[in-house]
Structure 1
Amino acid sequence: MRADLGARGRVDWLLRMPPEVERAHERDFGPARIRHLRHAIIVGLIVYNIYNLTSLHLMGDIQPFTVAMRLFLLTPGSILIFLLVSRLPAAWREVLLLQGMFTASLLPLYLVYISQSPYASYTLGELPLVLLFGNMLLVLRFRWALIFTTVTCLTALWVIHIKPGLDENLIFPLTVQVITGLFFTLYGNWHFERQRCLTYLAQYDAENRADRAERIGDALRDLTRTDTLTGIANRRHLEETLDGWLKSRPSVLLMMVDVDHFKAYNDRLGHLAGDDCLRRIAAALSAFAARHEGFAARYGGEEFTLLFAVDSETGGAFLADRLVRTIRDCAIPHPGRPDGLVHVTVSAGYAGADRDRDALTLVTRADLALYEAKSAGRNRSKAG
């Protein structure tokens, strides 16, 4: 109920939806609309030309002219519209339909007006069918249906009341027929168009809510897979990625990285500075991983893990040594190191899953290699 009320509030009295919704509707239903119009145009053209037979009896004095108008004016025009409806933008397509319907409705009125046949007025019986075709079969957009119906009916009333020689006893019945035809066909068009707009707006809103919920879900999922301090992947995301890589990639290199003497850094500069240091290192590791089509995550504390789809024997030492050098080149000051160095460095241990596809074993091997790198003096890498 609330969705329906919201939809109603976004359709004006001419049954126009917001521009972005109109574009979405055309994207979703434009092809179906074109197919429907083409079928309706063919049917309408066939039926319209059948009236050449009735004009033979009702307007015999201008029969050649009526046939010529239908065959050489209205028929080519209808075929042109048939060809153009799929090539024009939606707005121009609907305006073109309006012009075609004006030709279909005003031409018979003109023929009635110029005919001197005493039976010509009976041709006005075609008018409600023309209104029915435009408003209910073609289903002109309501704003155009309103213009089409009003102009056609006013023209018909003008012909009825000024045509010379028209039986006065027919004026009132014909006027009633024109007005009731206007009302019923225009009301039918309004009802159909209103339901189309309200239904699509409700669908559009439901899809938007679903998309928004999906985006929120994605954002929440990303939050659960992102380290809040550094902004890179967290351990949970690492475990998911590692499992996927081990199943799908022939070679996986896992690298454990630890910040050297990080406790001394925190003790000397404070935890806020330590957090900022971790963020800078995480950014450098993430960029390094991206350059080599890898993956970087914070494993915990001052420890990070990187994954690369390379063979450990051919690419492990190269990547590990370059990574250690990359962090050293960041030149982050470290005033509290006991080994005399003045910049932050990292130690790295790496292991390859070329044959061993067990995640825990791979992490353990890389972690032991990291321990060896730290025991050997830090600021270096070791293979596991």
Structure 2
Amino acid sequence: MNSLERSQQLRDLHKTLDSKNGRSLTFPPNLELGFQEVYARRYHAHIQLAGLLGLIALVATAPWDYILTPGIAAATWKIRIVASVLLMTSLAYSNIEQSLRYQQLLITLNATVCFITVLLISERHQSPLSDYYAEGSILVLIVAFVVSRLQFFWGKVTAVIMSLCLAMHLARIHANIELATIQTFVFVLGLLFALPGTYLMELSLRQNYLQSRLLNLEHKSLEDSRLQLEILTSTDGLTHIANRRSFDAALEQEWNRQQRAETPLSLIMLDVDNFKKYNDHYGHQQGDECLRQIARTLSKFSRRPGDLAARYGGEEFVLMLPGIRQDDAEEIAQQLVHTLAALALPHAASSLQKVTASLGVASMIPVMSAGPEQLILRADDALYQAKSAGRNRVCGYHYS
């Protein structure tokens, strides 16, 4: 996601939070899809727990069939077995990735199966207590709405289905007015607690989702800004290669690394010959373009991890080469001189009529008694020798 898309999403989230959508149970389509996916994954374990509780309840209450009405225990067991198979099928399907999009429907179906099972078992009992067996449906209500994390819309659907099932149950058993009133009252009372709780829970989760998305996007925007600032502070604005600050930090790091490995660290310092005359003759704009071309050429020699091409200041550049010996570094510097000459950048104020450069090369195996500044001084001394010897050449630092 680029910064423009992220900024647009931030505006959309702020707009949603500030509008009535931020306090409702519906989001714009793009946000709604994201919320539903997060919700389904977050509460995936809840639907499995609810299904397991349903299975445990069906098995654990089975002995009551033999205690209350042993004559019809076989019939009630058939009901329990059918319900258990349906629940196990649902649990198995819920482990499939594609089932996440149908999670709320599965909860509704599971709750309906358990609710109807309780009512059917209650109908078959002939004990004086069988009418109150149906009150176990309230447990189904609690598990469906609370444990399964049923969303408000599906909670309303489930409530309607359960209400119809209860009405049919009361009609089938020809319940008297007293029994019908008690069972209806208890069921409606359960819904009056369950539905508002479901609504408030989902509303809170939706608002938390918006806040979480907002914080995440703002964090990423801040991280992008930090990276951009880091790039700006470590990159030379004209040539777009590393600047002096970035080079100093990298040199310190590589010095310590090569010291531990006891391997050499080489520097090539480059100075554009007669650059002041070039600027005076062609103008600063053309001078800037000349520096950019030299920087691009220098960057081509920074091939390995750890290599670094940087603008050291003005018309001076530096190439850091970890693990390279003095002789090899001088050979690379010679290749660089030839490559710059091959560019054939015109320089009317130069005796060679083209842009050239002088290069100084130094190499050291870092030790505790010295520092990276000593390597810079050696490369600078070698560069001075190259310029003093007539420019357009490479000089290496060697112990006198």
TM superposition score category, shorter chain reference: 0.7 to 0.9
**Offset, 1:117:** 7.5
Contact 1:140/1:189 (CA < 8 Å) preserved in 2?
A: yes
Task: Give the Cα–Cα distance (whole angstroms) in 1 for the partners of residues 113 and 180 of structure 2.
Answer: 24
**Offset, 1:263:** 1.6
Q: Choose from 271, 280, 291 the match for 1:267.
A: 280
CA deviation vs aligned residue, 1:338-360 (integer Å, no higher than 9, x gap) = 21333x22221111121455121
Task: Give the Cα–Cα distance (whole angstroms) in 2 for the partners of residues 110 and 15 of structure 1.
Answer: 40
Q: Aligned residue for 1:341? A: 353
Question: Mean Cα displacement is larger for which, 4-13 or 164-173?
Answer: 4-13
Q: Aligned residue for 1:137? A: 147
Matched, 1:104 2:118: no
**Offset, 1:73:** 2.2
Contact 1:58/1:122 (CA < 8 Å) preserved in 2?
A: no
Letter of the structure 2 residue corresponding to residue 107 of structure 1: T
Task: Give the Cα–Cα distance (whole angstroms) in 2 for the partners of residues 244 and 24 of structure 1.
Answer: 43
SS of equivalent to 1:288: coil
Contact 1:235/1:299 (CA < 8 Å) preserved in 2?
A: yes
Alignment of 1:55-94 (within 5 A): 55=65, 62-70=72-80, 72-89=81-98, 90-94=100-104
Task: Give the Cα–Cα distance (whole angstroms) in 2 for the partners of residues 58 and 11 of structure 1.
Answer: 50
Task: Give the Cα–Cα distance (whole angstroms) in 2 for the partners of residues 283 and 248 of structure 1.
Answer: 27
Task: Give the Cα–Cα distance (whole angstroms) in 2 for the partners of residues 181 and 58 of structure 1.
Answer: 26
Gaps of 5+ in 1: none
CA deviation vs aligned residue, 1:150-178 (integer Å, no higher than 9, x gap) = 22223223433x32522233223322222
Q: CA-atom RMSD, angstroms? A: 3.1
Matched, 1:330 2:330: no
Letter of the structure 1 residue corresponding to residue 228 of structure 2: A
Q: Aligned residue for 2:228? A: 219
**Offset, 1:291:** 5.6
CA deviation vs aligned residue, 1:115-146 (integer Å, no higher than 9, x gap) = 78876543321221101011111222333333
Q: Go from structure 1 to structure 2 and tell me whether the alpha carbon gap of 1:238 and 1:18 turns closer, same or farther (over 3 Å shift).
A: farther
SS of equivalent to 1:290: coil
Q: Aligned residue for 2:8? A: none
Q: Choose from 209, 223, 245 the match for 2:218.
A: 209
Q: Go from structure 1 to structure 2 and tell me whether the alpha carbon gap of 1:25 and 1:157 turns closer, same or farther (over 3 Å shift).
A: closer
**Offset, 1:235:** 0.5
CA deviation vs aligned residue, 1:220-254 (integer Å, no higher than 9, x gap) = 22211111111211101111111011011233211
Contact 1:7/1:198 (CA < 8 Å) preserved in 2?
A: no
TM-score, normalized by length of structure 1?
0.85
Matched, 1:41 2:39: no
**Offset, 1:55:** 4.7
Q: Go from structure 1 to structure 2 and tell me whether the alpha carbon gap of 1:325 and 1:3 turns closer, same or farther (over 3 Å shift).
A: same
SS of equivalent to 1:231: coil
SS of equivalent to 1:289: coil
Contact 1:7/1:201 (CA < 8 Å) preserved in 2?
A: no
Matched, 1:19 2:28: no
CA deviation vs aligned residue, 1:23-54 (integer Å, no higher than 9, x gap) = 4566xxx3x64444444433332123333344
Q: Go from structure 1 to structure 2 and tell me whether the alpha carbon gap of 1:360 and 1:156 turns closer, same or farther (over 3 Å shift).
A: same
TM-score, normalized by length of structure 2?
0.82
Matched, 1:51 2:61: yes
Q: Percent identity?
A: 28
Contact 2:17/2:210 (CA < 8 Å) preserved in 1?
A: no
Task: Give the Cα–Cα distance (whole angstroms) in 2 for the partners of residues 42 and 7 of structure 1.
Answer: 40
Q: Choose from 254, 271, 288 the match for 1:258.
A: 271
Contact 1:252/1:354 (CA < 8 Å) preserved in 2?
A: yes
Q: Aligned residue for 1:146? A: 156
**Offset, 1:63:** 3.2
Q: Choose from 156, 160, 164 the match for 2:166.
A: 156
CA deviation vs aligned residue, 1:279-298 (integer Å, no higher than 9, x gap) = 22212222321367511111
**Offset, 1:275:** 0.9
Q: Aligned residue for 1:374? A: 387
Letter of the structure 2 residue corresponding to residue 339 of structure 1: S
**How many correspondences in the alignment?**
375
Q: Aligned residue for 1:362? A: 375
